Amino acid sequence: MTRLGLLSVALVFLWAPPTSYARKPADVFKGRVIVSTKRFPTAFKSDRAFTRYLKKVHRKWVEYGDQKSLDLEFMAFFKKRYGSTEFTGMIFDVTGPRTLVETFSIYPQQRTTRVLASNIKLTKETFPEERRYYFVVTLGQTILAETNFAIKESAHSRAKRKAAEREAKKTRTYDFGER
């Protein structure tokens, strides 16, 4: 190999970041809310493991299954540090015209943070199936992180609904009026 070839290979190795380098999860997910039905671990081996885990558990849709409620874990990532003792979570139904479904307070564990983890309990009465939702975390009027998710009808619920529809169709009576 020529000296120029060796020099160019050496420069590539010097300028390339080390393979152990990983971006912070707050930088990877800034401005987003990660939604999961699984609890988040309290610690990770590395930032890379944390990022991989979040990508794996993030859900664009969830379902109730046989339950009437669902515990939804979420982690909000901000673009910069914010110092506050209370953030606000807002969930809008965006299936039709955007309507506010629920607003709730989120209290961080530390006063200044870029990552906010919490959970919310969704019920079928408040959050019906087969709907799309827009979830934001705000500080005052400023949206800090956001995501979209849907609640799908579970196979069990669908089978139950279809059976009820078939039964109603069998017992339907028709009134053709008087003659």
Q: Does residue 6 form part of some domain?
A: no
Give the global pTM. Answer: 0.76
For residue 161, give every residue at least 6 positions away whose Cβ sits within 8 Å of its Cβ, in sequence order, or none: 153
Q: Does residue 129 form part of some domain?
A: yes
165 or 19, higher pLDDT? 165
pLDDT in tens, 16-25: 455 445 588 8
Least confident of 84-93, 105-114, 139-148: 105-114
Q: Does residue 153 form part of some domain?
A: yes
Q: Does residue 139 form part of some domain?
A: yes
What is the domain-level CATH number for residue 73?
A: 2.60.40.1930
Dihedral over alpha carbons 110, 116, 121, 127 (to 10 degrees)? 140
Least confident of 18-27, 35-44, 75-84: 18-27
Residue 60 belongs to domain spanning: 20-170
Q: What is the pLDDT of residue 2?
A: 60
Best CA proximity match to 75, nearest among 39, 111, 122, 21: 39
What total of structural domains would you count in the chain? Answer: 1
pLDDT in tens, 100-116: 999 999 999 888 889 99
Q: Does residue 15 form part of some domain?
A: no
Q: Does residue 175 form part of some domain?
A: no
Rounded Cα distance, 158 and 161, in Å: 5
Least confident of 3-7, 69-73, 136-140, 155-159: 3-7
Q: What's the mean pLDDT in 83-95?
A: 94
Asked whether residue 43 carries a pLDDT value surpassing 60, the answer given is yes
Q: Does residue 13 form part of some domain?
A: no
Rounded Cα distance, 6 and 110, in Å: 51
Q: Does residue 8 form part of some domain?
A: no
